[in-house]
Chain A
Amino acid sequence: MRFQIPIGPQHPALKEPISLRMTVEGEIIRDADIRLGYNHRGLEKLAEQKTWIQNIYLTERICGICSHSHTTCYVQGVEKLMELEPPKRGLYIRTLVAELERIHSHLLWLGVAGHEAGFDSFFMYTWRDREIVMDILEIICGNRVHYGINTIGGVRRDLDEQQVKHILDSLAILRQRSEYYQHLGTNEPSFVARLAGVGYLSREDAIALCAVGPTLRASGVPMDVRKDDPYAVYDEVPFEVCTADTCDVLGRTVVRIKELFQCYNIIEYLLKNLPSGPVAVRAPRRAKPNEVVSRYEAPRGENIHYIKSNGTDKPERLKVRAPTLGNYAATIKMLKNGFIADVPLIFAAIDPCICCAERAVSLVDARSGQEKIISMNSLKTLSLKVSAGKARKREAEWPL
């Protein structure tokens, strides 16, 4: 007997609204369908109305977990447009915050994976230790979630000796705890039984479906923007790209835990080799007409920002491709022929950040439930028809 189970838009396994429609036969999934568009916020449009500086704080709010990833990606692009060379110390601090963010994101993910597998003790333990890295971030930036440390041409805050010492001390604790989680995550029989062999994604499929980040690396593809196209100071810092060859959720867990240890090494290196000097240079208000693509390895995978300037103090176009969007196609592949019981795990294993990836809305007729694709121009005509006769609030130029 085939029937459809709706997972989402509201479901305990999902932290954000998305709709996964599973066609199941008994406990086995035969087909899966992902529907997006419940969390569209119009950020890209908003970015066109704000100045270069204001947009840093806007892009920071794209995501609540990899907030630094989006600002760094944006700021790097703008620096290229403005032909700015941020000072070394600024870049070191920027990289330091980026790696701390990676630690907090991976610890958070480990907890979520534990919770989805019904291993709540693991969840409680990892989230307890995530507080340590959140405290470090608070000491550096003054904030726990939206760090607000990036600025065009460097960073906004400097580090002092006491902070460096505190970070190194806390790292020692984190390293010790992570070793315990590595042991637990790969040895606890009931946990491993749930993860091993689940959500299989072969190396060829991972490349063909454009998977990114730990999902791709767990399929044995050593692809990491930090190595392939180094930005900030990654060309100076020694680190390894972590991969696994099991191609399943266990592999994705192992990759993330291995990356935690790489993060600790990178942070120690950065703090020990912190150059002296200023942390930022002065940035101009305007950028010459040009366009740029900026790449960044966020904790969840490759993050891409496309920025186009037109000579004013505002961008003409900002396009964000969050890593989660790159993993959706692979997720469908992983879900097929799996068990219903594995849906939350497989979906959580890509570390989905749904609101980051919401760049589209689908139009559904409220009465008939029919969905239709509508071009931007006819949508514009439709909206003009609806608002015909009413006073227009202000002149707005559509960019396309």
Chain B
Amino acid sequence: MATVKTLIYLVIYPGLLFLFLYSTFVEWYDRKLYARLQNRMGPTHTGRFGLLQPIADFIKLMAKEDIVPDRADRKMFSVLPAVGLAIVFTAMLLLPVWNYSLDQPSAISFNGDLIVVLYLLSLPTFIFFLAGWSSTNLFSTIGGARVLTMLFGYEVPLFLSVLSPAVLADSWRLAEIAAFYRQKPALALVNLLGFIVALICVQAKLERTPFDIPHAETEIVGGTFTEYSGKKLALFRLMMDAEMVVAAGLLATVFLGGFPGGVFLGLLNFIIKTLFVIFFLSLIRATTSRIRVDQVVSFAWKYLAPLAILQLLIVILVKGLIS
């Protein structure tokens, strides 16, 4: 029985199949919302309400010619998209989306899995950097350099703001943090500031406007992905969508009380809460313009990092008061 459960967990929910379908749905949701905010229609033709458009795009890209530049590091260039996708899918397995019980809410749950998820979410950034660097294209190289420069800006505020709810809950385990805030929903309000900081950092991590600097098309063409085409580009795009799901799931677990209620209610909870987070991400994307890479770093250290530290202080104070 345990084996079957593990298999279901890996392959169907919340593993490969679910994450693939849900990532494409999230891309549709993001595109549609973005389009409606801009007074456009968005995807309409493929499937009902254009729901199948991301899948159609994926299949189309898979069928396209796949070109590897002569001067690129062939092995590195080819293996990066698959490695990146594997990393993001692994991170998904750590989210407590299926509550068998508090002891075993996900395939692997242990004290400190919060740190592992954060670590796994940092790796895609390096994948993007390596992708840009191994393409040996000028635009990709600049894109790769920008990826790393931005990382120095948003990574510390993101860690600080995600860890402060954990400090309040007195646990480094995702399932326990979620359970803590379900029992005391009023305390979740304490983390409001951290939630806002984390939202902005996640937006930067996902490289969406105003932080879409590494692949700013009007400046450096495709940025890190300039030389990528066909299957590899399709995998990269899927990876970015999946990363959005995982990042939204992480924020929902830590700040919004997780996904209680077993298989079906838990699934419903997961969808509602991640879409709630992604709604804000789309809103930020539609209402801002792209800023410069130096502005990202100064913004992150001038505003985001102090706010995250302030959040930590608030949490410590509140913790002193309630205990």
Where the two chains meet, the residues of A that have a C-beta atom closer than 8 Å to any C-beta of B are 3, 5-6, 11-13, 27, 114-122, 124-125, 128, 188, 190-191, 193-194, 339-344
13 contacts between A and B (CB under 8 A): A11-B221, A115-B218, A118-B216, A119-B289, A120-B286, A122-B289, A124-B40, A191-B288, A340-B219, A341-B216, A341-B292, A341-B293, A344-B219
* Residue ID in chain A nearest B139 by CB atoms: A5
Contact assessment for B289 and A118 in the assembled complex, using a CB-CB cutoff below 8 Å: yes
* Residue ID in chain B nearest A4 by CB atoms: B138
Q: How many angstroms between the C-alpha atoms of A307 and B278 in the bound complex?
A: 61
Contact assessment for B287 and A121 in the assembled complex, using a CB-CB cutoff below 8 Å: yes
Contact status of A12 and B210, CB under 8 A, knowing A194-B289, A194-B291, A341-B293: no
Is B217's beta carbon under 8 Å from chain A? Answer: yes
Contact of A190 (CB < 8 Å), options: B37, B138, B210, B293:
B210
Contact assessment for B287 and A12 in the assembled complex, using a CB-CB cutoff below 8 Å: no
Given contacts A116-B218, A125-B38, 11 further A-B contacts (CB under 8 A): A12-B217, A27-B294, A114-B289, A118-B210, A118-B289, A118-B290, A119-B289, A120-B38, A121-B286, A121-B287, A342-B292
Q: Which residues of A contact B218 (CB under 8 A)?
A: 12-13, 115-116, 118, 344
List B258-316 residues whose CB lies under 8 Å from chain A: 286-295
Where the two chains meet, the residues of B that have a C-beta atom closer than 8 Å to any C-beta of A are 37-40, 138-139, 142, 209-210, 212-213, 216-221, 286-295
Q: How many angstroms between the C-alpha atoms of A191 and B295 in the bound complex?
A: 12
Query: Chain A interface secondary structure, helix, strand, loop or mixed?
Result: helix
Contact assessment for B213 and A124 in the assembled complex, using a CB-CB cutoff below 8 Å: no
How far, in Å, is A354 (CB) from chain B's closest CB? 16
* Residue ID in chain B nearest A345 by CB atoms: B218
Q: How many angstroms between the C-alpha atoms of A3 and B142 in the bound complex?
A: 11
How far, in Å, is B206 (CB) from chain A's closest CB? 15
Q: Which residue among A188, A194, A341 has the maximum number of chain B CB atoms within 10 Å of its CB? A: A341
* Residue ID in chain B nearest A343 by CB atoms: B219
Contact assessment for A128 and B39 in the assembled complex, using a CB-CB cutoff below 8 Å: yes
Q: Which residues of A contact B37 (CB under 8 A)?
A: 121
Contact assessment for A120 and B209 in the assembled complex, using a CB-CB cutoff below 8 Å: yes
Q: How many angstroms between the C-alpha atoms of A115 and B294 in the bound complex?
A: 20
Contact of A121 (CB < 8 Å), options: B38, B220, B291:
B38
Contact assessment for A3 and B293 in the assembled complex, using a CB-CB cutoff below 8 Å: no
Contact assessment for A3 and B138 in the assembled complex, using a CB-CB cutoff below 8 Å: yes
* Residue ID in chain B nearest A114 by CB atoms: B289
How far, in Å, is B267 (CB) from chain A's closest CB? 33
How far, in Å, is B174 (CB) from chain A's closest CB? 33
Q: How many angstroms between the C-alpha atoms of A116 and B217 in the bound complex?
A: 9
Contact assessment for A118 and B39 in the assembled complex, using a CB-CB cutoff below 8 Å: no
Q: Which residues of B contact A6 (CB under 8 A)?
A: 138
